[in-house]
Chains A and B, each alone.
Chain A
Amino acid sequence: MAGGDTPWQVVESSEVSIDPPPDRRDEYLDVFGNRIVQFGVHHLHDHVVIDAESVVRLLERPDAVDGTPWEDVAASVRVVSGADALEIGPFVGASNLVDPAADAAALGELVTPSFPPGRGVVDGARALCSAIFEEFAYDPTFTETTTPLTEVLSARRGVCQDFAHLAIACLRLLGLPARYVSGYLETEPPPGQPRLVGADASHAWCAVWTPLAGWVDFDPTNGHLPVSRHVTVAWGRDYADVAPVRGVVIGPTAEQELDVSVDVAPL
């Protein structure tokens, strides 16, 4: 829930506090460099509040430029070695929630128009992102966090997470490295109304890797490349790698539910 520095983001402070105070707390960086806080509350409790507060300065993002034809990128990925093999290796094949081979036909139909032969990899990704934006309806009532892509593809609706997974699956189907980015999006209140505390939500988008520009973010839910209002928290192969909260409850009647409230505000 607490992000790290990127070329266009400086984390000035970041605190994760937990109530009741945990009996054990460990912190480490995962293989992608995301900050993981693991804790245990070992005594009887009826609630846990995890409060993550960060001050983040967002920098202007330069326009990503890489006109390398997408087929050339895919071909180089197949024989990649050196540091790039470690950087992009996790993001080219199937992962826990994204298996391009399972829905290859439907994904192929979706991705092919955006990637005609010879098109530059960034242009193709941008086109794909617009296609998802136009062809799929945003519907927060439709999905749960683990809705399979097959269902999203047939119902033509979903939420940001589904669209990110969809774009990732399309790109990996072509042999292009693609990763899932989890974060927050600053939203503007409707004109004339005050900003509501806690009304924002976690957001998710994706990034494609190109030889010249590195990782290039784009946001299929909003149909345009991310601009300075996207706060990056973590990235991974898919949602399963970067779920904001993962945990278990132990007890004879361990009924529980998880509530989330997010507030992104300019300072």
Chain B
Amino acid sequence: MRSEVRDESATWEASLRESVLDPVALVDRQAQADRLLAAEGAGHLVHDLPVRADGRNAGLESRPWRLDAVPYVLDVAVFRWLASAVIERLEGLEAVLSDLYGPRRLLTDGVVPTGVVHADRGYRLGVVGMPPPRRWLSTYAVDLVRSVDGSWWVVQDLADAPPGVGYAMLDRSVMSRVMSDVPGWSTVASLARYPAQLRQALAATSGAPSPRTVLLTGGIDHPSYVDHSYLATQLGVHLVEGADLVVRQGRLWLRTLEGLEPVDVLYRRMEDPGLDPLEVGSVGAAGVPGLLTAARNAGVALANAPGAGVVESAALMPWWSAAVHHLTGVELRLTPYAGESLATTPVHRAAAGDHDGFGALAECPVVLRMFVAHDGHRAAVLPGGSGRVLAPGDDPRVPTACVAKDVWVIGSTLAPLVATRLPQVDLATSVPTRAADALYWANRAAERAETIVRTVRAVRSRVESDPGLVGYDGGRWSVRAQEVLRAVSGVRGDDVPVPGLEPLMERAKVALWAAAGSIGTLLTESTGVREYLSVTSGWVLERLSRARMAMLSLEPGAGPSGQLPVDELDAMLVEFAAFAGLWNESVVRGPAWRIGDAGRRIERASCVLDLVASGFASPAGPADVDDPVDAQVIETLLAADESLVAYRRRHRSDVERGAAESLLVRDRSNPRSVVAALDQLVEHAHDAEWPEGIAAATAARDASLALPLDELVPVVRGHLRDADRLIVSRWFAAPVNPVPVVRRTA
């Protein structure tokens, strides 16, 4: 159907058009958009991250898409026409769903062929005749194209778990930073109202006076994971996976550190067949057993309602206009696309994969996706959306590799921001056990990686400032430095290190590979809990992901020249410090912070124990007080634990073993000491009011204070292992996915 307003020139004010399409600015903006998108969203989701303990891999499918620095521009008059036509279609499809799962007049009156409906995978027979939900479509998205004559056509209805609204908001957040200097930017309609409108629509699905909402994702290996996690952060709701949820007493609960907490609204971003393994037609064992029975008995409200996906059917789409007319008398203005030739819009050629096309424009058709939230009374259309660029000749109905466009509605005088008030619900203090688990391991991995890098840095800078040290007295320092590197990087092996520069540099390289492994764990685990980390942490993680790539690209056997420069190691240490600083300064104090910080303290104590156990144990027996090599090793240790400056401020003399040992292990005022870390751990256990934890942490700390070095290392390590085991079994209780019952085959 043709919109009343279709004048192309009206959609682009001349000055805006000129500045948006300016070729020089375009090159800069594209580079900036690429960079921002990587940091904000999928940047650290790279394809070779380690497989998690639960067997899943991060980000295979979630690699960053490309965002065109040229937006897709809609004049507000066109947008208003589209919005009303899209709402009309949403309400028509809502009526279709009410009928198909209720009286089924469309089938008995022969308006829609019964066989085609029933053969559609999206039609859930288990929902037929059940008490209807308050709303079938709380959210809806639709893909539209415009043909050369200015008419708009439907390519696809998205009704099951409409994807992409998180991406659309993420793209806008990137563009708003790239484009804020463009004259006329202020006339672009803001998306800021939409999260509140979406929350309102979700809350309206439940009869609970103060509904608790969570967003269900398939997890880090779901293709739309970034969409889900960004949206959860924008909405301020928990991002949960199937194993975080459980059905008991006929209703849905979230597993948290504090026990089970009721959930009223499940904003499911999982497709229907993955919701409940007990249902006919479910795929594998994904989902929450009994979820749909709980939904049928009003033990939880789902948005969208299960079964809504049938209106997505390509086979049934040709019948919807007649169906809606039959049920409501409305003639839908948007009708299916049937191969009309498409209008084009400017696309930055570099964004579309033409590497020579910086600053140059191409004309391509674009599929426009619009998003709607409906609270039962009013529909809210996102005043924007996402555009998918088609290559010439692409069928818009077939998915293509994604070059996305931000969608701008310009010239609008939208209503002023109105605060939506929903009853406040305190889910903020509850932490899903899976998130706690990820925060714990992320912090442990960050601490370990940081210590390895600092140890390598200490060794390397020692070699650079005092090249003679490597060969001094048969290379004894180089041997002992290798022992330290090996211990701190956890690389096993009983080979006796060979003295000399080359073996030392090789060992440093192996240590960095181990650090890369720990960074991989940090990235994987953080990916699942982005909503707990500050926005800035995304930047830091993105840089650490690049540091990891640099470490992994080190070639074995390339000798001293094949090393990372010391200042590059320094830059990495800054990123680690930034991550730790953000963790301490930007994460709300509560159970999530506590469990993550406990991980960091346990790992710090372990790292220092590794350093002192390997550094103070001279292979030739107890270290000689007057041995200059011993002093050099201890100085390296102090640097590796970031305690050298503290030492020098306190002791004017050369490095002495007893004073160094005390600073590294027992000094409560040195935040890098074993005892300081364990003091924190004891405090966390007290805050959690957890007697077993208090006992284990206190035992570790008291042993560190009381025992001589050679005795305390094995004892404290034992206590730390106990503490770790206690935390994992008490707090995480590893949610596991269900296993289907199968018939034993004869």
Contacts and interface: CB of A to CB of B under 8 A. Distances in A.
Interface of A: 23-24, 26, 28, 30-32, 38, 40, 42, 77-83, 85-86, 88-96, 140-141, 144-145, 236-237, 240-241, 245-252, 254, 256-260
Contacts of B740: 246-248
A245 B278 CA distance: 10
Nearest to B315: A93
A47 B118 CA distance: 37
B281 A240 contact: yes
Nearest to B744: A257
A236 B114 CA distance: 16
A80 B743 CA distance: 39
Q: Is the interface of A mostly helix, strand, loop or mixed?
A: loop
B107 A86 contact: yes
Contacts of B107: 81, 85-86, 89
A96 B743 contact: no
B278 to A, nearest CB: 6
Given A38-B290, A93-B116, 4 more contacts: A40-B289, A89-B107, A90-B125, A241-B125
The 10 closest A-B pairs by CB, nearest first: A93-B119, A89-B114, A81-B110, A248-B738, A92-B115, A85-B114, A247-B741, A254-B739, A257-B744, A85-B107
Contacts of B128: 31
Interface stretch (B242-250, B393-401, B604-612): B242-250
A245 B741 contact: yes
A92 B107 CA distance: 14
Contacts of B41: none
B281 A96 contact: yes
B104 A86 contact: yes
A89 B247 contact: no
Nearest to B123: A90
Contact of A247 (B118, B278, B736, B737): B278
B280 interface: yes
A254 B736 contact: yes
A140 B743 CA distance: 14
Contacts of A85: 104, 107-108, 110, 114
Contacts of A23: 248
A236 B118 CA distance: 12
B297 interface: yes
A42 B246 CA distance: 10
Q: Which of A23, A78, A95, A140 counts the most B-chain CB atoms under 10 A from its CB?
A: A95
Interface of B: 104, 107-110, 113-119, 125-126, 128-129, 247-250, 277-278, 280-281, 285, 289-290, 293, 296-297, 734, 736-746
B283 to A, nearest CB: 10
A88 B114 contact: yes
B248 A24 contact: yes
Contact of A145 (B104, B280, B743): B743
A81 B125 CA distance: 18
A258 B741 contact: yes
A31 B290 contact: no
B231 to A, nearest CB: 28
A247 B290 CA distance: 10
Contacts of B297: 26
B736 A250 contact: yes
Contacts of A91: 118
Contacts of B114: 80, 85-86, 88-89, 92
Contacts of B109: 81
Nearest to B104: A86
A92 to B, nearest CB: 4
Nearest to B127: A31
A137 B170 CA distance: 60
B746 A260 contact: no
A137 B109 CA distance: 44
Nearest to B276: A248
Contacts of A92: 114-115, 118-119
Contact of B289 (A28, A88, A96, A250): A250
A251 B290 contact: no
A260 B296 CA distance: 30
B115 A251 contact: no
Nearest to A38: B293
A145 to B, nearest CB: 6
A259 B736 contact: no
Nearest to A101: B119
Given A31-B129, A80-B114, A89-B115, A248 B293 contact: no
A248 B108 contact: no
Contacts of A240: 280-281
A250 B249 CA distance: 17
Q: Which of A91, A93, A96, A144 counts the most B-chain CB atoms under 10 A from its CB?
A: A93
B278 A38 contact: yes
B109 to A, nearest CB: 6
Contact of B115 (A93, A145, A250, A256): A93
Nearest to A247: B741
25 contacts: A24-B290, A26-B297, A42-B248, A77-B115, A78-B115, A80-B114, A85-B104, A86-B104, A86-B114, A89-B114, A92-B118, A94-B119, A95-B119, A246-B740, A247-B289, A248-B285, A248-B738, A249-B738, A249-B741, A252-B734, A252-B736, A256-B742, A258-B741, A258-B743, A259-B744
B222 to A, nearest CB: 20
B276 to A, nearest CB: 10
Q: Which of B249, B737, B740, B746 counts the most A-chain CB atoms under 10 A from its CB?
A: B740
A201 to B, nearest CB: 11
A176 to B, nearest CB: 11
A93 B313 CA distance: 15
Contacts of A259: 744
A213 to B, nearest CB: 20
A241 B280 contact: yes
Contacts of B249: 24
Contacts of B741: 245-249, 256, 258
Given A30-B126, A80-B110, A254-B736, A246 B278 contact: yes
A82 B108 contact: yes
Contacts of B116: 93
Q: Which of B119, B249, B745 counts the most A-chain CB atoms under 10 A from its CB?
A: B119
A249 B285 CA distance: 10
A263 to B, nearest CB: 18
A251 B293 CA distance: 22
Contacts of A247: 278, 289, 740-741
Contacts of B745: 144
A81 to B, nearest CB: 3
Contacts of A260: 743
B746 A141 contact: yes
Contacts of B290: 24, 38, 40
B110 to A, nearest CB: 3
Given A30-B126, A85-B110, A240-B281, A258 B744 contact: yes
A172 B736 CA distance: 41
Contacts of A246: 278, 280, 740-741
Given A248-B289, A258-B743, A40 B247 contact: yes
Contacts of A24: 248-250, 290
Contact of B293 (A26, A78, A145, A236): A26
A198 to B, nearest CB: 15
Nearest to A238: B280
Contacts of B125: 30-32, 90, 241
A238 B126 CA distance: 14
A78 B116 CA distance: 10
Contacts of A254: 736, 738-739
A187 B314 CA distance: 48
B113 to A, nearest CB: 8
A78 B110 CA distance: 10
B730 to A, nearest CB: 15
A147 to B, nearest CB: 11
Nearest to A144: B745
Given A85-B108, A93-B119, A258-B741, A248 B278 contact: yes
B439 to A, nearest CB: 21
